[in-house]
Structure 1
Amino acid sequence: MSRINKNVILALLTLTSSAFLLFQLYYYKHYLSAKRAVKKFIMLTSSQNVPVFLIDPLILELIDKSFEQVKNVSHGSTSECKFFCVPRDFTAFALQYHLWKNEEGWFRIAENMGFQCLKIESKDPRLDGIDSLSGTEIPLHYICKLASHAIHLVVFYERSGNYLWHGHLRLKGHTDKKFVPFRKLQFGRYPGAFDRYLFPKFTLCWTEFVDMKVHVPCETIEYIEANYGKTWKIPVKTWDWKRSPPNVRPNGVWPISEWDEVIQLY
């Protein structure tokens, strides 16, 4: 009986150890994949002067909760990669399309770096009513995959009323539905519109952030004050992103003619 119990215990320990090892391998695979994909993407956009900005909800939430770690990153180890290496399938960035000067060249370099990229286009709603242009398609989303991690690049456009808009991600019939797990995307299920934030003119400088070189505003204080006001050092316990920033301007109401595009039910 004692011998049987020992064998059972040994088998359970072996099974538990194997399961834990598989979990570690899975985690480490996604850890390296996410870090490598994001690092290469930022290197690519920086070298081509493509002004992207991070909009990934998961990472932004982690940064918000660990703001003290971000401020002190230069005093500690930057190789831990506390934010961008969290296991996930996607990292979401965005750009304003009119600032992208060399789209085709950017994609050639991306493919040479090992990315597989998918462009998703649809009709430009700004041209509705213009017979000669109403069928014109514009890029709305780009998905660039490297190994098991993908970068989701959401394209923003300026719309009448001084706001920024991104379109719905609709897959066409010929699109490979298994290219990435599309249902896990944080953006694209619905169109989105956002108030424009007014900033003073600023230049860009290099800095190191989680073991990567990125562009940040050189006029740091002016940029922060534009977003949070002169009293930005004083903690604010109630913050409404739609009303609290001093550089937000009201846009009024949606034109009825655009309701079919901006209000959709699924």
Structure 2
Amino acid sequence: MSAAGLMARINRTFVLSLLIAASSIFLLFQLYNYRQYSSQNGLDALSSKGYLSGKEAHWHLLKRFLGLVHKFKLPVFLVDTASLNLLSQDAVLYRDSQLKEPHCSFLCTHRDFTTFALFGNLWKYDAALLDAAAERGLELLEVHGKDPRLISMDDLTAKEIPLHFLFRFNSRLVHVVVLYERSGKYLWHGPLRLRSSMDRTFAPFGKLDFGRHAGAYDRPELILTTLDGLDVRIPKNYSRFLHEHSSSRFLECHCKEAKAFYQLYPEDTSPEAVDFRMKAKSLLHLASKVLSVLGVPFWLSSGTCLGWYRQCNIIPYSKDVDLGIWIKDYRHDITQAFQKAGLPLKHKFGKVEDSLELSFQGNDVKLDIFFFYDEGDIVWNGGTQAKSGKKFKYVFPRFSLCWTELMELKVRVPCETGDYVMANYGPNWNVPVKTWDWKTSPFNVHENGVWPVREWDDVIQVY
């Protein structure tokens, strides 16, 4: 072969090698980009174990779960906060019939779990659920707990009920939280507490939306829609549900401690005490209705809060119902709304900027509403002595709000109830005190000056 021919052949080989190298680099680059995209969007291919992963795997888990739901007629609905946050009204109304499975945009999120709720009173537990789940390749963990609806002063025992179900498939999870109806016509779920024998690696328990503590919700209206090609029920007003979830924590009253209290201080069952409690219950329900219509959140305060915390009841010698409201939630039509409901204004002390307090007259029971002010590390409400114009300040440590039940009503209390009660009533809060001076008896009362005489007509109004 001539030198020229040899050179031409070498050049062709070099060019071919260069093209192969360039193509290989390009393919590797494309593969890298695809893996990056797949990782970010959950669209991974089959793993080495031969099962789907990413969004596709999660979609198949949901399909298996919903098939199980259909077989057992479980009244479930979507409560997953990440999924509900992704929804828009258009997405809900649009029946997405053209999307090919396993396309998953709403039910598959950045998390490895999806949460549903189950109406406990519309479903009867069936032990066959465990076998049926296994047939679909689903591992099932059941969490049970005591039924608080059956606990009373007379009987502190209660049967156990299912609180949470966790279905797992290839490290992905569907969490089902069971909602039960309580006597206050609201829905309640229990905390997720694992027994020592349970597998604590079964699920990312610390990341779950529901179960860190008990929760309470109003019953939502549900609609059936299609998400990602699957038929699911969701709260019609899911924005409201998400708002409820953000402040859903629920506290049970301490029946055991209340029973111990009544053993030391027997409950007053006189006709007068029974009559007062019935009137106080009626007033509390009416006040809740009025403030709920106005959209004004409130909580049990002072003696009413003490009664719930100490004895799970209204204190019969208190002679009033006490509520707290943040001053930022004050509305100028509150007084008008209560008067329209049949509760005339008894007195108004202070002003919106300082120490506001309203009192309404019920049927032999007074309703006191104290407005609370935020001041750095503490919060406080004010008091005014009508005859002297003296001002008083009641100081509390900062607190958040939780739900509870009192007199068959879902109502808020400070989550840090012990600190709240201790601030107001001191270390002996558990000892009844029937003689109480609002100006000197509270442990957290401080004198706060005197209203200028020129302002008395505005800040001291007694009717």
TM-score between the two structures when normalised by the length of structure 1: 0.68
Query: Structure 1 stretches of 5 or more lacking a match?
Result: 1-9, 217-222, 229-237, 243-248
Matched with 2:230 is 212
SS at match of 1:98: helix
Alignment of 1:1-266 (within 5 A): 18=32, 21=35, 24=38, 27=42, 28=44, 29-64=53-88, 67-74=89-96, 76-79=98-101, 80-129=103-152, 134-197=157-220, 208-214=226-232, 255-256=308-309, 257=312, 262=404
Query: Bigger relative contact order, structure 1 or 2, given CA contacts below 8 A and separation 6+?
Result: 1
Larger Rg: 2
In the aligned structure 2, how far is the partner of 1:171 from the partner of 1:239? 27
In the aligned structure 2, how far is the partner of 1:77 from the partner of 1:184? 30
In the aligned structure 2, how far is the partner of 1:70 from the partner of 1:114? 30
Change (3 A) 1:75 1:37: closer
Change (3 A) 1:264 1:145: farther
- Report how far residue 134 of structure 1 moved: 1.2
- Contact 2:92-2:226 within 8 A present in 1 as well: no
Query: Structure 2 stretches of 5 or more lacking a match?
Result: 1-23, 45-52, 245-288, 301-307, 314-400, 405-413, 417-463
Matched with 1:234 is none
Aligned-residue identity in percent: 33
In the aligned structure 2, how far is the partner of 1:87 from the partner of 1:103? 32
In the aligned structure 1, how far is the partner of 2:139 from the partner of 2:130? 9
Change (3 A) 1:253 1:159: farther
- Report how far residue 214 of structure 1 moved: 4.5
In the aligned structure 2, how far is the partner of 1:70 from the partner of 1:142? 27
Which whole-Å deviations, capped at 9, do the CAs of 1:110-159 have from their partners, x for residues lacking one? 12111111111122222223655614222211111011211110011111
Aligned residues: 227
- Contact 1:141-1:155 within 8 A present in 2 as well: yes
Which deviates more, 90-99 or 120-129?
120-129
- Contact 1:34-1:88 within 8 A present in 2 as well: no
Which whole-Å deviations, capped at 9, do the CAs of 1:47-97 have from their partners, x for residues lacking one? 221110100000011113xx3244334464253322123342110000121
- Contact 1:73-1:210 within 8 A present in 2 as well: no
- Contact 2:108-2:114 within 8 A present in 1 as well: no
In the aligned structure 2, how far is the partner of 1:134 from the partner of 1:180? 30
The amino acid that maps onto 1:142 is F
- Contact 2:78-2:232 within 8 A present in 1 as well: no
Matched with 2:453 is none
Which deviates more, 42-51 or 98-107?
98-107
Which whole-Å deviations, capped at 9, do the CAs of 1:155-186 have from their partners, x for residues lacking one? 11111211111111112211111111111111
The amino acid that maps onto 1:68 is D
Change (3 A) 1:252 1:129: farther
TM-score between the two structures when normalised by the length of structure 2: 0.42
SS at match of 2:188: strand
The amino acid that maps onto 1:187 is F
SS at match of 2:152: coil
